[in-house]
Structure 1
């Protein structure tokens, strides 16, 4: 078995990449998406635009990489207990530092007027985490933990919708208390579970 050919040129430096992502996050918080430029990111890191374009084809791709870096997607929970699985899905939205929330708020503000950004943010940030609820509820329906008559699609959108409202509209963090309230007082009752 032969190793795949190494790309031409020097290998990409992971430290430089991390610095570029961090600078992009900082500028999103400080300046907003509209005013952020690849030039400004490069200047902040003491690098060149070419360094950015070797990694990402444009500003949108750079911004999505920087935002995604703050929102790693966990594995789909499968504890054997529906409530615990739903709580684990909700905890995927927990962010301790507030930095993630400020980056997300900046993107949401800009996305209202930029359909391309809105679609990219939905695909990169929203869909992967939102799918956790779809998968957990779909599995619960398939093994008879909840009625097959439950509209899994709409129930799966409840928590992400509330989380979005808290973060984007209210500027509030998703915390453990909110997760417990939504799971115990909204999701489980809507599934016919107490």
Structure 2
């Protein structure tokens, strides 16, 4: 068995990557997406634009990577209890620190006028987490826990829609009391009374 050839150049330093992503998050909060530049990120880290471009093809990819650091996608919950699974889906939206909320607000503001950013952010940040509800509801239907004829697609959009409105329009974080209210007062009653 032969070893695979080593890529040319030095291996990428993970500490530099973390510093670049942190600086990008800081600049998103301080300056917004429109005014953020790769030059400014490099200066903030004491590195060069070439250091950035070795890792990301440009500003959009860098910004999306920086945001993804704050919003990891969890595993699809399967506790065996539909309510607990729905609560776990909602908790994927929890923003325990103001930093995540500020970065998300900056992206939402810029994405209103930038279709490329909106599409990239939706694909990388929104869709993976939003699919949690769809997957949990589809699995519950397959197990016979959801009555036939329920519009799972629209119910799967309820919590993500509320979370987006709360963050983008109201500037408020998603918190556990909100998650409990939506699951217990909206989703579960809708599933029972379909």
Q: TM-score, normalised by structure 2?
A: 0.97
User: Is 1:53 the counterpart of 2:40 in the alignment?
Assistant: no
Number of aligned residue pairs: give it.
193
- How far apart, in 2, do the equivalents of 1:174 and 1:142 lie? 29
Other-structure match for 1:43: 43
User: What is the CA-CA distance between 1:147 and the residue it aligns to?
Assistant: 1.6
CA shift at 1:4, angstroms? 3.1
Write out per-residue CA displacement over residues 52-87 of structure 1, whole angstroms, 9 at most, x where no aligned residue: 000000100000000001000110000000000000
1:128 paired to 2:128: yes
Point out where structure 1 has 5 or more consecutive residues left out of the alignment: none
Separation in 1 of the partners of 2:120 and 2:180? 30
Matched residues in 2 for 1:49 and 1:73: separation?
29
More displaced stretch, 1-10 vs 183-192: 1-10
State the alpha-carbon separation in 2 of the partners of residues 187 and 3 from structure 1: 53
Corresponding residue of 2:27: 27
Unaligned runs of 5+ in 2: none
Q: Aligned partners of 1:145, 1:189: CA distance in 2, in Å?
A: 13
The alpha-carbon deviation at position 3 of structure 1 amounts to: 3.8
Q: Which moved more, 1:101-110 or 1:143-152?
A: 143-152
Q: Could you tell me how far apart the structure 2 residues matched to 1:188 and 1:155 are?
A: 10
Query: Post-superposition, which runs of at least 4 consecutive aligned residues in structure 1 deviate over 6 A?
Result: none
